[in-house]
Amino acid sequence: MILVISETIVKVYFLGSYPGTIRGDYATTVSHNIIHGSDSLASAEREIGLFFGEDLV
């Protein structure tokens, strides 16, 4: 699932993202983009806790 999402988001830096991808179409800078994707299950668990609270992990 992480791979599928990563391919949809495409590239960490918006300058290398293709038109038709979320980052390619909506990012304006490296730090101002509309989406974030975790690179692993461990990162996802940690980040979900940071954004939404530990009770959701």
Task: Say if residues 20 and 7 touch (Cβ distance below 8 Å).
Answer: no
How many domains in the chain? 1
Check whether 53 has a pLDDT greater than 80: yes
32 is catalytic: no
Check whether 11 has a pLDDT greater than 60: no
Check whether 45 has a pLDDT greater than 70: yes
Q: Which residue has the higher pLDDT, 50 or 24?
A: 50
Check whether 48 has a pLDDT greater than 80: yes
List the domain range (segments joined by +) for residue 7.
2-56
Considering 28, 36, 40, 51, which one is annotated as catalytic? Answer: 36
Residue that is written with structure tokens 């179409």 in the block: 25
pLDDT at 36: 77
Nearest alpha carbon to residue 14 among 29, 36, 2, 3: 29
Give the CATH number of the domain where residue 20 resides.
Answer: 3.30.70.141
pLDDT digits (tens, 9 = 90+) for 25-34: 888 777 777 7
